[in-house]
Structure 1
Amino acid sequence: MLDALLEQIWILCLGTKVYTGSKTVMSGSAVLIRMVSIPEYYEGKNVLLTGATGFLGKVLLEKLLRSCPKVNSVYVLVRHKAGQTPQERIEEVLSSKLFDRLKDENPDFRQKIIAINSELTQPKLALSEEDNEVILDSTNIVFHCAATVRFNETLRDAVQLNVIATRQLILLAQQMKNLEVFVHVSTAYAYCNRKHIDEIVYPPPVDPKKLIDSLEWMDDGLVNDITPKLIGDRPNTYIYTKALAEYVVQQEGAKLNVAIVRPSIVGASWKEPYPGWIDNFNGPSGLFIAAGKGILRTMRASNSALADLVPVDVVINTSLAAAWYSGVNRPRNIMVYNCTTGSTNPFHWGEVEYHVISTFKRNPLEQAFRRPNVNLTSNHLLYQYWIAVSHKAPAFLYDIYLRMTGRSPRMMKAITRLHRAMMFLEYFTSNSWVWNTDNVTMLMNQLNPEDKKAKSLYLVLLRNIRYGFNTILVILIWRVFIARSQMARNIWYFVVSLCYKFLSYFRASSTMRY
C-alpha cells in the first residue's frame, strides 16, 4: 500500500497531465481543452525558495530544476555564514552528489539559480533595495522550507527562526505583485498534543504576537525558566514554534493563496534522485547507522507504536504538487497536507527494529564495533539497565583499550551523543498518532483516466518486451546447446508447430473482430 501511495505522488510530480487546470489550444475551428501538467504550470515561473542549504530545501531545488526544466528562475535566500558568501554556500550545495543527475540531464541549470543575500529574522529580510524590487516584481511561487530543526533550541532562538522569520516572509509575500501561491513546510507533529490530527490549522497554544512582544523584554534566564510551562504538553521548542508559525501563516496570509505541507519523520530518499540518498545522520538515520555499527544496542520505544517515516522525495513531490494544485485551482480555503504514511501503511517500531537488524546482519557495515542487535523497551528501569550494560560499560572498556594502545578515547563521547539523540526521539518512538490524509489522497486522485491507461499500456509494453526477449533467449539456448538428439528435435518441432498454430488462431480472431 505504501508503494502505491508513493508511486502515485511520484508520477504526479514527474509531469503526468492531471488536475482540473487546463489550457486552451486552437486547432482550426475547434477548441481543444487539455489538462495542465506540473512542468507546464512551472514553465516561465519565478520561484522563491528559503532553506536551500537545508535537507528539504536542497532536494526541492534539485527536483524543481530537473523535473520542471522550463522554470524561469529560482531565487534562493541565503545568509552569510562561516565566512562564506551566499553564492559560495549555494555552490557548495550544488557540488554534492545530489545534483549529479541534474548536471547530466541539464548542464546549464546553474543559470536559473540566483543566490540572494538575506537574513530572515531581520526586518524586510535584510534585502538590498535592488533585490527587494526584483523579488516583489517577479516572484510567482514561494516555498518556505527554512527553519531550525534542533529540538533543544532555546525558545528565543526557535521563535526567531521559526515564527518571526515566517512572519517576515509572509509580509514580503503580501507585497509581491504576481504571487500565485505560498507554500509553507511545517511538521505533522505541530499538534502532537492531539491523538487525531486533521488537515486544518488548530488554535495556537499562545498568541504569537504576545509571545514575541514578551520575549523582547525578558532576559534569557527568565525565558528558560518559563519555557517548560509555555510548551506544556509538547515535547520541545521546535514542535511548539512550528504550531505558532502555522497560525501566523493562516492569519497574516489570509489574503494569499496558501498551502501547508506537514511531513512526519523525514528519512532518506525513496527513488529520487537516487534511492537511499541522505546528507546527514540526524533523526532515525543516525540511529540506524549506530545500530548497524553495533553501538546502539537498546532504545526506549514501544514496539506497537507507529513509526511514521516518510522519504524526503515524497515530501518534496507533495510540496510541488500542492503548489501546483493551489496555483491552478485557487481554492477558497488554506490547503493543509498531512504528508504521513501511518494511515496508509501502518509500520511499527518493532518492525523497524527487525528489518534494520536483519538488513545489517545480511550486509554488515565495515569496522563495526559489535554484531548488530537492538532491544526495544518501554520500561524505564529495564532501559537504564541495558544502557549501563550494553552501552556505557563496553564504551568505557574500549576507551581504556584505546588509551593503553596510545590512541585517543572516543567511544564514551559517541555514546553520550547517541543518548542525547535518543532522548529527543523518545517521545516520537513511544507514542502514536492518527493523521487525516484526505487532501493528499485528493492530489493522487487527480490522475485522469487517459494518463492511468497510458501508464498501464507503457508498463505492459515493457513487460512484453522482456517476455519476448526471454523467449528468444530460451529458443536459442535450446537450438544451440540442447537439440542434439532426435527426441530433442521432435520436441523442438512440436513447440514451434504449437506456437505457429497459436499465432494463426490469434491472427484469425483479430481479423474477425474487425
Structure 2
Amino acid sequence: MNLGTFGNMAANGGSVCDFYANSSVFITGGTGFLGKVLIEKLLRSCRKIDKIYVLLRGTTNKTAQERLEDLSHEVLFEKVRQDDPNIMKKLIPVNGDLTLPNLGMNNEDYSLIVKNVSIVFHAAASIRFNLKIKEALHCNVEGTKKVIELCHKARCIKAFVHISTAYSNTDKTFVKEEVYPAPENLDKIYEIIRQNEDDTEADDLTSSRPNTYTYAKAVAEYEVLRNHGSIPTAIIRPSIVTPIWRDPTPGWLDKWSGGTPIIFGLCKGLLRCLDTQPSNVIDFIPADIAVNLSIVAAAKCHVDTPKVKVYNCCSGPTNPMTFKMLSDYCHENSIKHGLHWFPYPKIFLSTNRVFLKIVRLVLQFLPLFLADIWLKIRGKQPRFVKMLEKLTKVEKTLHFFIKNQWQFENHNVEALISTLSPSDRVQFPCDPSEICWKTHFEDYCLGIDKYLMNTSIKSANINSGMYK
C-alpha cells in the first residue's frame, strides 16, 4: 500500500466500522434479498451503529412492525441474534411507501429520519421486467427522486448509496464506471406517455433496452446524477446476484429470482440446453460482495470529490465465469449430491436453432411428459410439464442476458478495495477475484434445495430482475 493510500485512510477517519459508529442508517428495500443481507451485515459487523430505520409498507395482513419481526427471525439473522440477543432492537420499522409523497411516511416519522439519519441506502425497486413504462418509472425513478429529496433535508447526511444494476446500459458492449446520459429527457418521456395512452409509442421508448426495468434504472441513475447536489453519493451496479458467498451462511438465498430458477432446472434435469455460446461470460456476483462493497463505498465517498462515484460490482473483469463452467458445475453437483430428478442431467450449450429444438423435444419435453403419464397411472398429480412451462418462461425472460455478454470496467472498484486496511478487507470482503466459483456453486445448488424447496417453483417470479 502506498503513502497516498495511507493518507486517504487517515482522511477517512479510520476503519469502515468507525464511519458507522454512533450513526443512524435509513434503508429502503430492506425486505428484498440484498436489503436483508445489508441489514444483517451492518448489525453483525458495525456493532456501534446507532439505529437502522427500515422503510416498510404495511399489508392487509401485517403491519410494518410485524413484517420487520418476521424478517429478524429468518435463518439469515441466527448468528447475529446468538452473538447479541439485544442487537435487533437497533432495527426500527418505518411505515411508508416509495411511490407516495414523503415516501408515505407520517410527519412524525419523516421528521425523525431527517433529524437522526446520516447514511442512506436506497435498495428498493420494482424488479418486474414486464411493467408498463409508466409504472416502471413511477417506482424506480420517482421513488429514487423522493429518497434524494429526503437526503437533502437530512441535517447530518454523510453518504447516499443508490443500488442500481450492471445492466442499466445494455445498449453498450463495454460499460464504464460512469453515469451515462438518460435514454431520453424525463419530461419528454412523460409527455410521450401522456400523448399515447395505448402505450404503443411509449413502449417504443424502450427499444434500446431489453425491458422497462433496465430502461427505468438507466433513467434513475441519471436522475441521481442530476439531483444529488453536494450529497456524497455512490452508485453500486451489481450484476446477476447469487447467494451468500462467505458470511454468515454460505449458499443462503430467499427467493426464486434472477438466475436461480435456471440453476434449479439445470440441476434437476428439467432443463437440458441453453441458447448461448459455451465461451460466453455470464457475470455473477454473490450478495455479500455487493453488500460489502456498498457499505465500504458509503464509508469512503464522503471524503471523495462531489462527483458521483460509480462502481460496477461485477466478477467478469477479474474472475470471469463462462456458461461452460456454469453447466459443468451444475452437472457435477447434481450428480455428486443426487440433486437430479431425471437420469444423466447433461446440459447442451448451442446457438444452433435446429439442434436446440431437437434437444428440447427429445431430451427435455419427452422425458417430463412420460414422467407425468407415469404419475397419473399411479394416481398422483402430474407436475413436471407444468414446471417445464414455468422454467421455459423464465428462460425466455432472461434470454437476452443468456444470449449476450458485456464487458464491465472496474477501475473504481479496484481503487476502492486498495484503500481498505487489512482488517477491513477481512471484515468486508468485496474482491470478486477471491471467489472460488466451484465451491460457491456447490453452495448455490445445495442452498436452493435447503432454503427454497419448501417454496414451490410455481411461485417463482418469472419477471424477476438481476440483482434485487
Q: TM-score interval w.r.t. the shorter chain?
A: 0.7 to 0.9
Tell me how far 1:307 sits from its aligned partner: 1.3
Residues 188, 339 of structure 1: 8 Å contact kept? yes
Runs of 4+ in 1 over 4 A off after TM superposition: 448-453
Larger deviation, residues 334-343 vs 247-256:
247-256
Give the residue type in structure 1 aligned to 2:220: A
The one-character-per-residue Cα deviations of 1:424-444 (angstroms, maximum 9, x if unpaired) are: 222112222111111100111
Task: Show CA shifts across 1:218-242 (max 9, x none).
Answer: 53xx12x235421113111111111
Match of 1:174 in 2: 152
Relative to the length of structure 1, the TM-score reads 0.78
Structure 2 residue corresponding to 1:439, chosen from 412, 430, 454: 412
Q: What is the DSSP-based 3-state SS (H/G/I as helix, E as strand, rest coil) of the residue aligned with 2:385?
A: helix
The alignment of Structure 1 onto Structure 2 pairs a total of residues equal to 423
Counterpart amino acid of residue 345 in structure 2: P
Residue of structure 2 aligned with 1:250, choices 200, 225, 239 = 225
Partner residue in 1 for 2:438: none
Q: What are the residue-to-residue correspondences of 1:9-158 with 2, within 5 Å? A: 20-22=8-10, 36-158=14-136
Amino acid at match of 1:20: N
**What CA distance in whole angstroms lies between the structure 2 residues aligned with 1:229 and 1:212?**
13
Q: Which amino acid aligns with 1:357?
A: H
Q: Which amino acid aligns with 2:369?
A: F
Structure 1 residues 228-239: aligned runs within 5 Å: 228-239=203-214
The one-letter amino acid paired with 2:317 is S
Provide the C-alpha distance between the structure 2 equivalents of 1:450 and 1:232, rounded to a whole number of angstroms.
46
* Superposed displacement of residue 35, structure 1: 5.3
Asked if structure 2 preserves the Cα contact closer than 8 Å seen for 1:295 and 1:370, the reply is no
Contact 1:196/1:435 (8 A) holds in 2: yes
Report SS of the residue matched to 1:420. helix
Quick one: structure 1 residues 136 and 232, their matched pair in 2 at CA, closer, same or farther if it must change by over 3 Å?
Answer: same
> Which residue of structure 2 aligns with residue 355 of structure 1?
329
Q: What is the percent sequence identity of the aligned residues?
A: 34
Tell me what 1:277 maps to. Answer: 252
Q: AA paired with 1:309?
A: F
Look up the match of 2:433. Answer: none
Identify which range, 345-354 or 189-198, moves more after superposition.
Answer: 345-354
Greater relative contact order structure (CA < 8 Å, 6+ sep): 2
Contact persistence 1:336–1:439 (CA under 8 A): yes
Residue in structure 2 matched with residue 193 of structure 1 by the alignment: 171
CA contact (8 A) 1:292 1:364 kept: no
Amino acid at match of 1:304: S
Q: How much has 1:448 moved relative to structure 2?
A: 4.8
Take 2:152 and 2:367, find their aligned partners in 1: how far apart are those partners?
Answer: 58
The aligned counterpart of 2:236 is 261
Q: What stretches of structure 2 of length at least 5 have no aligned partner? A: 427-468
Change (3 A) 1:387 1:452: closer
Contact 2:81/2:88 (<8 A) preserved = no
Spell out, residue by residue over 1:151-176, the C-alpha distance to the aligned partner (whole angstroms, 9 max, x if none): 22332322122111111111222111
Shift of the 282–388 alpha-carbon distance from structure 1 to 2, 3 Å rule, reads same
- Give the aligned residue type for 1:445: S
Greater mean deviation of Cα atoms: 151-160 or 40-49? 151-160
1:214 deviates by 4.5
The alignment status of 1:209 with 2:182, answered yes or no, reads no
- Following superposition, the deviation at residue 208 of structure 1 comes to 2.1
Give me the CA root mean square deviation: 2.2
Counterpart of 1:351 in structure 2: which amino acid? M
Q: 1:344 aligns with which of 315, 318, 331?
A: 318
1:369 is matched with which residue: 314, 327, 342? Answer: 342
After superposition, the Cα gap between the structure-2 partners of 1:293 and 1:306, relative to the gap in structure 1 and judged at 3 Å, is same
Deviation at 1:129, TM superposition (A): 0.7
Output the CA distance in 1 between the equivalents of 2:46 and 2:241. Answer: 23
Deviation for aligned residue 1:105: 1.4
SS in 2 for 1:22: helix
Change (3 A) 1:451 1:68: closer
Q: Give yes or no for contact 1:343–1:435 (8 Å, CA) kept in 2.
A: yes
- Structure 2 SS opposite 1:391: helix
Q: Could you report, residue by residue, the CA deviation over 1:275-334 in whole angstroms, capped at 9, with x for unpaired residues?
A: 11111232222222221211111121221211111110000000000000012x142211
When normalised by structure 2's length, the TM-score is: 0.86
* Partner-residue secondary structure (3-state), 1:140: strand
Query: Using a 3 Å threshold, how does the CA distance of structure 1 residues 384 and 141 change in structure 2: closer, same or farther?
Result: same
Indicate the SS of the match to 2:315. coil
Report what 1:410 is aligned to.
383
Deviation at 1:217, TM superposition (A): 6.5
Q: Is the 8 A contact 2:230 2:306 kept in 1?
A: no
CA gap 1:304/1:272 in 2 versus in 1, 3 angstroms: same
Give me the whole-angstrom Cα distance separating, in 1, the residues matched to 2:397 and 2:89: 41
The question of whether the paired residues in 2 share the 8 Å contact of 1:301 and 1:378 is answered with yes
Is the Cα–Cα contact under 8 Å of residues 19 and 448 in structure 1 kept in the other structure?
Answer: no
1:312 to 266, 280, 287: 287
Counterpart position of 1:293 = 268
Larger radius of gyration: 1
Any idea what the Cα deviations from partners look like across 1:476-499, whole Å, max 9, x if unmatched? xxxxxxxxxxxxxxxxxxxxxxxx
Does the Cα contact within 8 Å between 1:87 and 1:115 map onto a contact in 2? Answer: yes
1:19 deviates by: 7.2
